[in-house]
Amino acid sequence: MILRPLPVLHRPPWGGLCLANLYGKDQKDTPIGESWEVWGASLLPDGRSVREACGFTLLVKLIDVEDQLSVQVHPDDVQAMQLEGRPEGKAEAWYIIGTRPAAKVALGLKRDPGAAELRELAATGAIEAELRWTGVQAGEVIDIPPGTIHSLGGGVLLYEVQQPSELTYRFYDWGRARPLHLDKAVAVVRTDSRPVPRRAPEGWQEILIENQHFTLTRLRIDQARVATLVAWEAWTVVAGLLRLGEEEVAAGTTVLVGPGRYTLGGSAEVLVAASQRG
């Protein structure tokens, strides 16, 4: 069985034009920051929620960062319960779909300041000089565990899979008039967390990320293939056109694929998110 969840568009101040112009998410030249492709509360065309229909709960997004993303951090499960009374924190992973020249991401800090100094760095804006920036290119994958300070420079189009939580604590927002959450951010940060982007393997089917919350796999379809699924998965076509059984899935589209055996065809790059929690 294949289900087509209805995406929901979000328009933060840093969004760009790629989701509209490349993937047809809205009228041409319309700024969009995030397309929430699927999560438990997503609706299907028949009005049911994804959670009701198949129990899938991970949150999958397409994100276009035209301007700088806030400097932020997310709690783990234990911290989310302690600080917010919620059962899940936010572990996430990124796959870089495309970039402008000299695109970069911030992953952690250059050093390990203490809590008081870190709060002062964020409050005064001096944290800008402490961010650990690294260049990124299309085809790279980044695992971002909870507690990791991170940000994105402008000119990055990416796919994100995460726990179904939007607990985000901002350290710094580049002068925008949005709330910061310094006490909670300092409480959950791991200043020793410094992930490194890595090039995705070149095979037709490669596991990119596997942790306690989810598995992220990339498929490169350029000839007839067969896939056998034992649980529901979210398939996002990031390039090309996928023939999945009797259906066609265009670039920028996410479908939920249920247990079964499927023939694959067309020419496409596909990212597959599967929950580790059943």
The dihedral of CA 81, 11, 250, 238: what is its sign?
negative
Q: How many CB atoms lie within 10 A of CB 67?
A: 17
133 shares its domain with 265: no
Q: For residue 123, what is the DSSP state?
A: H
169 shares its domain with 209: no
CB-based burial label for 202 (10 Å; 0-12, 13-18, 19+) = exposed
12 phi-psi bin (left φ>0, alpha ψ -120 to 50, beta other): beta
122 shares its domain with 153: yes
Beta bridge partners of 152: 105
Q: Which of 147, 171, 199 is the last residue of a domain?
A: 199
pLDDT, one tens digit per residue, over 2-16 is 999 999 999 999 999
242 shares its domain with 180: no
63 shares its domain with 137: yes
Given a contact cutoff of 8 angstroms between Cβ atoms, the answer to whether 6 and 29 are in contact is: no
Please give the pLDDT value at position 276: 82
Q: CATH number, domain at 193? A: 2.60.120.10
CA distance 136 to 155: 10
pTM score, whole prediction: 0.95
191 shares its domain with 216: no
Q: How many structural domains are present in the chain? A: 2
pLDDT, one tens digit per residue, over 176-225 is 888 999 999 999 999 999 999 999 998 899 999 999 999 999 999 999 99
Please give the pLDDT value at position 92: 97
238 shares its domain with 259: yes
State the pLDDT confidence band at 278, using cuts at 50, 70 and 90: low
pLDDT, one tens digit per residue, over 8-59 is 999 999 999 999 999 999 999 999 999 999 999 999 999 999 999 999 999 9
Of 276 and 225, more confident: 225
Q: In this structure, which amino acid lies at residue 12?
A: P
Please give the pLDDT value at position 177: 85
CA distance 183 to 188: 9
Q: Give the phi and the psi of residue 51 in degrees, each rounded to 5.
A: -60, -40
112-133 in b/e form (b: 16+ CB < 10 A) is ebeeeebbebbeeeebeebbbe
Given a contact cutoff of 8 angstroms between Cβ atoms, the answer to whether 151 and 68 are in contact is: yes
CA distance 33 to 19: 8
pLDDT, one tens digit per residue, over 89-110 is 999 999 999 999 999 999 999 9
Please give the pLDDT value at position 97: 98
178 shares its domain with 96: yes
Given a contact cutoff of 8 angstroms between Cβ atoms, the answer to whether 14 and 71 are in contact is: no
Given a contact cutoff of 8 angstroms between Cβ atoms, the answer to whether 146 and 75 are in contact is: yes
Residue 254 domain boundaries: 205-275
Mean pLDDT across the chain: 95
Which whole number is the average pLDDT over 73-82? 97
pLDDT, one tens digit per residue, over 54-75 is 999 999 999 999 999 999 999 9
